[in-house]
Amino acid sequence: MAYNGYYANHQKPQKERYEEDTVGKTETFLTRNVKLITFLTCLVLFLAFFGPWSIIRIVQWVEATNLQAEKEATMMDEQELETIVREGERLSWANFDGYYYETVWETGMCIRQYDVLGDKYHLLVSAESSTAPLDSVLLIRHADYAEVDILLEDALGFIGKASGQEK
């Protein structure tokens, strides 16, 4: 590069000298690779907190959300409950097809729990098996755990009392 006289009136910039700072000191792996070590430490911490267990938690959350959506989509409403109550002794497993249920007990008997109107009522339907005639269909009010057997008793009056109490 040709000298054009620029530095004649100005002070020439000085190069910084790092050699003076490290003279007599020994460089180690740690001092040379501080950025790499910091990155690896952050990566290990990230994987420890958000690693495979987080993926499992996310999958569990998605499954629980899907289950809740399925429950809400197939839950009995008030009209469907009244239709089932009116059937009375003529009820069979076919009346409960399409509704979400949880198997409560299945050791010699089949007992299924259906949620009705959110958590307002539960139906416990029991029989010797899932193909046998129904033994009992208990409508249980969640607020006070009062129950009525739809096959044997007047459940419409039971539902009417419950709605009359809440008004």
145 φ/ψ sector (left φ>0, alpha ψ -120 to 50, else beta): left
- The answer to whether 138 touches 149, Cβ cutoff 8 Å, is yes
Whose tokens are 């089932």? That residue is: 84
Name the residue with tokens 């755990």.
145
Q: Read out DSSP for 80-120?
A: HHHHHHHHGGG--GGGGTTS-EEEEE-SSSEEEEEEETTTT
Select the more confidently predicted residue: 156 or 11.
156
Query: Positive or negative, the Cα torsion across 97, 144, 70, 50?
Result: negative
How many CB atoms sit inside 10 A of residue 19's CB?
7
Tell me the per-residue pLDDT of 111-128, one tens digit each, with 9 for 90 and over. 888 888 777 888 889 888
Contact (Cβ atoms closer than 8 angstroms) between residue 88 and residue 48: no
Average pLDDT, the chain: 79
Q: Is the pLDDT of residue 13 over 80?
A: no
* 73, pLDDT greater than 90: no
Is the pLDDT reported for residue 9 higher than 50? Answer: yes
Asked if 138 and 151 count as a contact pair (C-beta separation under 8 A), the reply is no
Residue type, 112: R
Residue 12: per-residue pLDDT: 62
Does residue 137 surpass a pLDDT of 70?
Answer: yes
In the chain, % of residues over pLDDT 70:
80
Domain chopping of the chain, boundaries: 29-72, 75-166
Q: What is the pTM of this model?
A: 0.57
